[in-house]
A and B are shown apart, each in its own frame.
Chain A
Amino acid sequence: MNYEIVIGLETHVELGTESKIFCSCGGHSAAKEPNDCVCPACCGMPGMLPVMNKRVVELAVTAGLMLNCDISRYSTFDKKNYYYPDLPCSYQITQLAHPICKNGLVTLKTSEGTRDIRINRIHMEEDAGKLVHRGRYSYVDFNRTSVPLIEIVTMPDFRSAEEVIAYLTKLKTMFRSGGISECEEGAMRCDVNISVRPMGSEEYGVRTEVKNMSSFESIEKAINYEVQRHIDAIEYETEELVQETRRYDDATGKTFAMRDKETADDYRYFPDPNLMPIIIDDEWLEKIKAEKPVALDDKVIEYQEAGISQKEIDVIISDKKLGKLLDETIALGCAAKEAAAWILTDYMGVLRKSGKGTDSESLSAEKLASIIKMVEKSEINRGAGKKVLIAVVEEGADPKDYVEKHGLNKKFDADALKAAVDKAISENQKAVAEYKGGKEKALQAIFGACMKELRGAVNPADIRAMLLEKLK
């Protein structure tokens, strides 16, 4: 039977603020020694009260805007109760009832086309500390305590591990460029909810949650392992599936059920009376929108995902004409990275030489796309393409006509190549003899003669290939 994989993600992202979420301690990245960045508040001492870090709200809202969420104008904090030595207050301050962002949407590009992933919610919360186990003793490090996090919860919209990784990669790119988070190792952690169901079924299968993974590789492996485990359980009745929380072990590549106790907890949530509701009025929201870094623009993310370098992106977005040319060229079916290179290296070079500006509109997207496609299909080589580009910019030539007129296309090339190679061989008999006698270097003289004859109109690799063929 065919099975459909159903996955939902909960992703924790550490925010790149200068101080912690409820006190003025520096972020834990500033810490050198254990318990370097702590104060009475983040150690759980009595008498301290949480004071909201405004920057955390702004970054969470920015993240929400990037993920097309509704921003809650009224949001509140709740306390989540559980005992653990790395949790100094024995409760975590988080958002349950009224999260900061709701109902978002992320569009992914995968090998099977675009996919929409719905975001259920984004909420703010504080991180816990860290335990270090040595021998019989355990040590507590509170540096990470109260470091601000956002948790992004998706709907069960993923259908493969590939989509999950594409989503996480997208988040990482967006958050880095947007100053939300550096997303360093461990600063982005995932809980993955997995179930499988017969293809076409509307009902969800039994769901398991694999908690707290940070490397993409582990996440992918854990999903694949867990999916197979589910399918085996259904197909071959290897075990009975139960809803539970599991842990992925990197060393064995397997997942294990966590103790029952950890999942059966009642966290006894209730609203935190020490923190007033966060009200985001129009003015504040507009301010956050206005301050949203330019690099957050969806366009930029699109360019980044297409593999265009940040330096190139900076030039493109600083000039609307260039951006328009690039977008139109891409829309005509050219690869983004290739189109960007043509525009930024070749086109800009020609403009500089001729003293023209980008506003001269001397190159249309149609003409550029035509050149790029001819090169792509190997109808002309890259060098010839550049010649065409110069002619287009300087003389307003039509690319196809120009190629035809100047005999730059492949058809001409093939005949000329054959003639040139034959001519070079007949005129350099001495070198031919030496080459056949084992002196490989001799080939260079014949090759040079060909190049001279063809004046660069043909791809050197093609010349070499034909030459070798003839001299066999």
Chain B
Amino acid sequence: MKYYATIINEKGDIAVDDTILIKDSVCTAGSYILDGFKSLFSAEAVTRLEDKGYKISGKTHVGEFGLDLVGEFSYYGEKEEKLSGAAAGLVSEGKVSAALGVDLNGATRRAAALSGVDFLKPTYGTVSRYGVISTAASGEQIGVYAKDAKKTAEILSVIAGHDDKDGTSLPDETYEYAVDKDIAGKKVCIVKELFDLADEETKKKVTSFADALKNKGVIVEAISTDIFETANIAWQILMCAETCNNISRYDGVKFGHRTENFRNIDELYLNSRTEGFNFLTKAVIFYGSDVLSKERYKDCYDKSLRVRRVVADKFKALMKEYCAVLLPACGKSEYKSYDITEAFGKVFEEGKFTSLANLIGVPALSTCGVQLIGDHFGESQLLSLAAAAEKEVLA
């Protein structure tokens, strides 16, 4: 199996997605618009790993700006037989022990589920976003791919902690993540609406994971709620708007791709961007511009901000009773390729499972082909649930 990656160090053990900057390396976020762009500095997460003696092996390709479903539509990649993120693939094959990825709308969690590895998106603000090729600033977060819960906890403990260079970074200097927290007697819920959306194979994975938890004394209950669906709509709006704004800096003037076909500044902008972005990115730009326009702002963007607060309140209430929500990471266990013109709709469809965690900044762990979403700072709880269940499920 071939995964697209740029090797930096043959002896390296950690892969880094191309949406995260490494000093003096070409960093494109999978987009032709950043063709040849070399970063002048490394992301804080990368620096922290290197400071602790971890060696970065290279950059793994991502879908353009990480916007697609599992990371297949990169300008630099070709369609592979096994379609999932390169980083998840490399971890799954044991080429690296862990990888860093940016979770923007759950693509990293889906890729991990499809490759049978873990991906943990921590609480928003725990890992510095300094050095992330930013798209949707209010919900994107660096997370960790690894083979099991223990390794995930180890790497996350290294990269998490306050950073002055990121204004949204939380004040805690360090975080220690554990995989051995008490889980017996704790309650986990399964959301009926989302369970029903999944295919048979995925349902089976959720059920067997739930059974494994029950064997360890966890109480699993089914509940009914519409907050995941609502959260998805709000997040798609915010994500497109913020992404449209953040990538508007790629204009052909300063770095990256510049068209050869222009007579004035308007044509330079238009043609550079037309040539530089793929179909999905353009769809996001159109949608994002639209929801921010004077006519639509109040009903779309502003409303989504209010929905974010309502969803957060409702989720908090849910977390008073349960320590985590158990749900599919993606609706289908076998991923099939599709045309990029369908990508926008697909991302929206699958977002029902993943968007909530981005919208309100709670941690989400993709493990054993399923997903656990917990309360803010509930990472250790999620990892402990995963550690308890993984042996039985994977056996």
| Interface residues, chain A, with chain B CB atoms under 8 Å away | 40, 43-52, 79, 81, 83, 85, 88-91, 140, 266, 268-271, 273-276
Q: Of B130, B164, B265, B293, which is within 8 A of A48 by CB? A: B130
A-side contacts of B242, CB under 8 Å: 270, 273
Given contacts A47-B131, A266-B293, A275-B167, 9 further A-B pairs with CB under 8 A are A46-B34, A51-B164, A83-B248, A83-B251, A268-B297, A270-B245, A274-B137, A276-B167, A276-B168
Closest residue on chain B to residue A276 by CB atoms:
B167
Take A43-B254, A45-B255 as given contacts and tell me if A268 and B134 are in contact as well, using a CB distance cutoff of 8 Å. no
21 A-B residue pairs with CB within 8 Å:
A43-B254, A44-B249, A45-B40, A45-B254, A47-B41, A47-B43, A47-B130, A48-B130, A49-B130, A49-B134, A51-B165, A51-B166, A52-B167, A83-B248, A88-B249, A91-B245, A91-B249, A269-B292, A269-B297, A273-B137, A276-B168
Does any Cβ of A come within 8 Å of B271's Cβ? Answer: no
**Is the beta-carbon distance between B166 and A46 smaller than 8 angstroms?**
no
Using a CB-CB cutoff of 8 Å, which residues 245-276 of chain B contact chain A?
245, 248-249, 251, 253-255, 265, 269
- Please report whether the interface of chain B is mostly helix, strand, loop or mixed according to DSSP: loop
Take A52-B167, A90-B251 as given contacts and tell me if A47 and B292 are in contact as well, using a CB distance cutoff of 8 Å. no
Q: Of B134, B167, B251, which is within 8 A of A46 by CB? A: B134
Closest residue on chain A to residue B138 by CB atoms:
A273
Take A44-B249, A49-B166, A90-B249 as given contacts and tell me if A81 and B254 are in contact as well, using a CB distance cutoff of 8 Å. no
Q: Of A45, A49, A79, which is within 8 A of B245 by CB? A: A79
Take A46-B29, A274-B137, A276-B168 as given contacts and tell me if A268 and B129 are in contact as well, using a CB distance cutoff of 8 Å. no
**Is the beta-carbon distance between B129 and A49 smaller than 8 angstroms?**
yes
Does any Cβ of A come within 8 Å of B330's Cβ? Answer: no
B-side contacts of A51, CB under 8 Å: 164-167
Q: Of A46, A79, A88, A273, which is within 8 A of B168 by CB? A: A273
Chain B CB count within 10 A is highest, among A46, A88, A90, for A46
Using a CB-CB cutoff of 8 Å, which residues 25-81 of chain B contact chain A?
27, 29, 34, 37, 39-41, 43
Binary A-proximity of B78-107 (CB < 8 A = 1, otherwise 0): 000000000000000000000000000000
A-side contacts of B253, CB under 8 Å: 85, 140
A-side contacts of B245, CB under 8 Å: 79, 81, 91, 268, 270
Take A49-B130, A81-B248 as given contacts and tell me if A270 and B166 are in contact as well, using a CB distance cutoff of 8 Å. no
A79 to B21, CA, bound (A): 24
Kindly list the 4 A-B residue pairs having the minimum CB-CB distance in the complex, ordered from nearest. Answer: A273-B138, A90-B248, A268-B292, A46-B133
**Is the beta-carbon distance between B132 and A274 smaller than 8 angstroms?**
no
B-side contacts of A274, CB under 8 Å: 137, 167-168
A114 to B167, CA, bound (A): 45
Closest residue on chain B to residue A84 by CB atoms:
B265
A45 to B38, CA, bound (A): 10
Using a CB-CB cutoff of 8 Å, which residues 268-310 of chain B contact chain A?
269, 289, 292-294, 297, 301, 305
A455 to B245, CA, bound (A): 84
**Is the beta-carbon distance between A268 and B289 smaller than 8 angstroms?**
yes
Binary A-proximity of B160-172 (CB < 8 A = 1, otherwise 0): 0000111110000
**Is the beta-carbon distance between A266 and B137 smaller than 8 angstroms?**
no
**Is the beta-carbon distance between A270 and B164 smaller than 8 angstroms?**
no
Q: Give the shortest distance, in Å, between A271 (CB) and chain B (any CB).
A: 8
**Is the beta-carbon distance between B248 and A47 smaller than 8 angstroms?**
no
Closest residue on chain A to residue B273 by CB atoms:
A83
**Is the beta-carbon distance between A40 and B248 smaller than 8 angstroms?**
no
**Is the beta-carbon distance between B249 and A89 smaller than 8 angstroms?**
yes
A43 to B242, CA, bound (A): 19
Q: Give the shortest distance, in Å, between A268 (CB) and chain B (any CB).
A: 4
B-side contacts of A90, CB under 8 Å: 248-249, 251
Take A47-B43, A50-B167, A275-B167 as given contacts and tell me if A88 and B130 are in contact as well, using a CB distance cutoff of 8 Å. no
A293 to B131, CA, bound (A): 39
A276 to B138, CA, bound (A): 11
Q: Of A46, A50, A140, which is within 8 A of B249 by CB? A: A46
Closest residue on chain A to residue B241 by CB atoms:
A270
Q: Of A47, A81, A269, which is within 8 A of B133 by CB? A: A47
A275 to B297, CA, bound (A): 20
B-side contacts of A81, CB under 8 Å: 245, 248, 292
Closest residue on chain B to residue A39 by CB atoms:
B40
Closest residue on chain A to residue B255 by CB atoms:
A45
A1 to B167, CA, bound (A): 58
**Is the beta-carbon distance between B249 and A49 smaller than 8 angstroms?**
no
A-side contacts of B251, CB under 8 Å: 83, 85, 90
A81 to B289, CA, bound (A): 10
A-side contacts of B255, CB under 8 Å: 45
**Is the beta-carbon distance between B29 and A83 smaller than 8 angstroms?**
no
Q: Give the shortest distance, in Å, between B16 (CB) and chain A (any CB).
A: 13
A273 to B136, CA, bound (A): 9
A367 to B305, CA, bound (A): 69
A-side contacts of B132, CB under 8 Å: 47
Q: Give the shortest distance, in Å, between B355 (CB) and chain A (any CB).
A: 16
A275 to B289, CA, bound (A): 21
Binary A-proximity of B298-331 (CB < 8 A = 1, otherwise 0): 0001000100000000000000000000000000
A83 to B249, CA, bound (A): 9
A90 to B134, CA, bound (A): 14
Chain B CB count within 10 A is highest, among A89, A140, A270, for A270
A-side contacts of B168, CB under 8 Å: 49, 273-274, 276
Closest residue on chain A to residue B34 by CB atoms:
A46
A81 to B165, CA, bound (A): 23
Take A85-B253, A270-B292 as given contacts and tell me if A91 and B297 are in contact as well, using a CB distance cutoff of 8 Å. no
A66 to B255, CA, bound (A): 43
A47 to B164, CA, bound (A): 14
A-side contacts of B129, CB under 8 Å: 49
Closest residue on chain B to residue A261 by CB atoms:
B266
A39 to B114, CA, bound (A): 40
**Is the beta-carbon distance between B301 and A270 smaller than 8 angstroms?**
yes
A271 to B241, CA, bound (A): 11
Take A44-B254, A47-B39 as given contacts and tell me if A270 and B248 are in contact as well, using a CB distance cutoff of 8 Å. no
Q: Give the shortest distance, in Å, between A432 (CB) and chain B (any CB).
A: 85
A-side contacts of B294, CB under 8 Å: 266, 268
Closest residue on chain A to residue B21 by CB atoms:
A47
Q: Of A47, A88, A140, A270, which is within 8 A of B134 by CB? A: A47
B-side contacts of A268, CB under 8 Å: 245, 289, 292-294, 297
Q: Give the shortest distance, in Å, between B17 (CB) and chain A (any CB).
A: 13
B-side contacts of A270, CB under 8 Å: 241-242, 245, 292, 297, 301
Binary A-proximity of B165-194 (CB < 8 A = 1, otherwise 0): 111100000000000000000000000000
Closest residue on chain B to residue A82 by CB atoms:
B248
Q: Give the shortest distance, in Å, between A339 (CB) and chain B (any CB).
A: 52
A45 to B254, CA, bound (A): 9
B-side contacts of A44, CB under 8 Å: 249, 254
Closest residue on chain B to residue A23 by CB atoms:
B165
A-side contacts of B37, CB under 8 Å: 46
